[in-house]
Amino acid sequence: MQKWPPHAFLDLEEEYADFKRSRFVVVPIGYDGTATYRKGSRFGPDAVIEASQHVDLFDEQLLEEFYQAGIYTHEHVIQDAEPVEQVQERIYRAARPLVGAGKTLIGLGGEHSITPALVRAVQEKWPQLSVLHFDAHLDLKNSYYGSCYNHACALRRVHDLGAPAVSIGVRSFDKWEYDFTKAHKKCFFTPEQVAADVKGVAKETLSNLSEQVYITFDIDALDPSQAPGTGTPEAGGIDYREALAVLEAVGRHKRIVAADIVEVMPIKGQNVTESVAARLAYKIISYAQLYT
């Protein structure tokens, strides 16, 4: 049977990849214009989509299939280097009508600077939106390398939108960011805290989130041994299974209304990171269907 479109997330048959009947829309956003260490995450969306075509559709934990809700693959929103302020508007304009049509967005980056524009679009429909943030970094810098939309400022811009956030996997930040978390009572968990009591972290995370949740997953939240293909790797990250434990808890108790996976930077000769990201994306799609 014909696949549709030919280069689509999970390589689904047309019946399950049609826009009108799909609950989920995968949005590739290949932008890495503010990357400050290693560039290459602009190639992440295509790599993740390609890897997804080798992901089994039957969930090994939940013992069900979840693709039947429909997953449409949108055309690329960004594929070239533009000023980041212009990129913010382009992403917002692309996301807004999709959210308005009742779709659950799954953004594929690209660097973390894509997140504020997506959150802005989603927040218009869900004003009480909160954000679950997986990352090695706090990303709370007000400006970095001369731009307030640098990838290191992503969660600061989310804060400016008024959306409360919980960060998981954090292990790299400066004093000013730490002081900001204290001044604004920001909740974050280090990998050590997650490893010591992942169920407790999940429970406290739930207590700090609103009913509607946007998930932003920077792949460098995971330990580099599990996701080496990223622009700013940090030693000592969380485990894939720990991430799933938190994500599943959120899916069961909160309404996941949108998500993104960012900072996947393909490494020539291997496909580990994009394969992990593809599985994470399908896991989020699956967990989003658990809430009743």
| pLDDT of 215 higher than 60 | yes
What pLDDT score was predicted for residue 197? 98
Q: Report pLDDT digits (tens) over 236-281.
A: 999 999 999 999 999 999 999 999 999 999 999 999 999 999 999 9
156-164: average pLDDT: 97
Q: Cα-Cα-Cα-Cα dihedral of 165, 39, 41, 80, to 10°?
A: 110
Percent of the chain with pLDDT over 90: 89
Q: How many structural domains comprise the chain?
A: 1
Q: Report pLDDT digits (tens) over 75-89.
A: 999 866 678 888 999
Average model confidence (pLDDT) for the chain? Answer: 94
* Cβ-based neighbour number of residue 199 at 10 Å: 10
Confirm if 54 and 275 have CB atoms less than 8 A apart.
yes
| pLDDT of 35 higher than 90 | no
Q: Is residue 52 part of a domain?
A: yes
What burial class does residue 125 get, using C-beta atoms within 10 Å of its C-beta: 0-12 exposed, 13-18 middle, 19+ buried?
middle
Give the structural domain span for 155: 9-287
| pLDDT of 65 higher than 60 | yes
Confirm if 281 and 26 have CB atoms less than 8 A apart.
yes
Q: Is residue 77 part of a domain?
A: yes
What pLDDT score was predicted for residue 79? 61
Q: Is residue 108 part of a domain?
A: yes
Sign of the torsion angle spanned by Cα atoms 261, 209, 199, 139: positive
Q: What is the CATH number of the domain that holds 174?
A: 3.40.800.10
| pLDDT of 230 higher than 90 | yes
Minimal CA–CA distance to 83: which of 5, 175, 159, 147? 147
List phi, psi (to 5°) of 98: -70, -45
